[in-house]
């Protein structure tokens, strides 16, 4: 559903209890707001409630800041955690790459087509392979040496770049480096990775050779939030393709690239539209 031209996104989670939907809807209606979308999920196993709302605020009877502040009384009464985002907006995003550019191409194309509300501040690479593509889109490219003893210093330089550019989201678009724990913690919930296999299977190097040797019938890709546990963060999106007996490892890689592009694009879209809520080791996703 298209976003309201002037409005808010509200993301919320709290202990499940009767009447939550009515209370939230009543608050919005009480200030002449219009609910464009109300997606909610009650988890009977965890006893929690999750919701994502889109609110048209053009007819509000109070100032936007007062509406947001006033919600605090209701939110606290429900022991909720919540977040508002004003519409329209573009999320400041950096893309980290190594050699391959198919995922980077997908992001740049979708951003150019306005499918993703992102402002790409820079492309950061530990190899020079993607520089020409960055220059084609007039996006600054930063080459950061990370070999051997330069690894820790390289991540410190990346951190400085992200902070200087006020980056809200960093996307690892086939960035073939293991991130240090301190980096993962500093950007928790703001780092998205695409893994070139169907997690949790085939972790690590040469996943398509691993998959071929096991005779898999499905191959795919996983888009997930990054944590200090390698390739084990909350999953946002997964895509899969059917594998036939005559497919070679190169065929599997080709199918996998299709999955990677699609899964990453969807994962970014869900994140930048505030359609994800991290709940422990999993992500609650409200697809559009």
Q: Which residues are catalytic?
A: 231
The total of other beta-carbon atoms located within 10 Å of residue 120's CB is 23
Q: Percent helix, strand, coil in the chain (nearest 5)?
A: 35, 30, 35
The Cβ of residue 79 has, within 10 Å, a number of other Cβ atoms equal to 9
- Strand boundaries in 126-212, DSSP class E: 141-143, 169-172, 191-195
Structure tokens at 195: 């893994």
At residue 100, φ and ψ (nearest 5 deg) are -75, 150
What is the rounded distance in angstroms from the CA atom of residue 223 to the CA atom of residue 265? 9
Residue 242 has a CB neighbour count (10 Å cut-off) of: 9
Residue 54: enclosing H or E segment and its boundaries? Answer: strand 48-56
């Amino acid at each position: 559903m298209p976003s309201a031209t002037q409005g808010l996104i509200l993301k919320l989670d709290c202990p499940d209890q009767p009447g939550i939907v009515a209370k939230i809807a009543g608050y919005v209606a009480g200030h002449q707001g219009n609910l464009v979308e109300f997606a909610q999920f009650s988890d009977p196993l965890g006893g929690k409630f999750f919701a994502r709302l889109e609110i048209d605020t053009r007819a509000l009877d109070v100032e936007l800041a007062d509406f947001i502040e006033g919600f605090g009384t209701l939110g606290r009464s429900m022991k909720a955690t919540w977040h508002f985002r004003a519409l329209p907006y573009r999320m400041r995003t950096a893309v980290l790459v190594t050699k391959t550019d198919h995922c980077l191409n997908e992001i740049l194309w979708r951003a150019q087509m306005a499918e993703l509300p992102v402002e790409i501040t820079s492309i950061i690479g530990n190899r020079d392979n993607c520089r020409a593509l960055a220059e084609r889109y007039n996006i600054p490219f930063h080459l950061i040496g990370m070999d051997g003893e330069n690894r820790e210093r390289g991540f410190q330089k990346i951190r400085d770049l992200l902070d200087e550019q006020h980056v809200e989201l960093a996307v690892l678009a086939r960035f073939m480096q293991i991130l240090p724990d301190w980096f993962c913690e500093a950007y928790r919930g703001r780092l998205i990775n695409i893994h070139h296999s169907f997690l949790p299977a085939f972790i690590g190097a040469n996943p398509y050779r691993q998959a071929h040797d096991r005779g898999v019938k499905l191959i795919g890709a996983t888009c997930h939030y990054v944590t200090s546990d390698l390739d084990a963060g909350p999953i946002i999106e997964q895509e899969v393709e059917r594998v036939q007996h005559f497919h070679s490892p190169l065929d599997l890689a080709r199918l996998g690239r299709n999955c990677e592009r699609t899964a990453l694009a969807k994962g970014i879209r869900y994140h930048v539209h505030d359609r994800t809520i991290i709940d422990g080791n999993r992500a609650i996703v409200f697809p559009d």
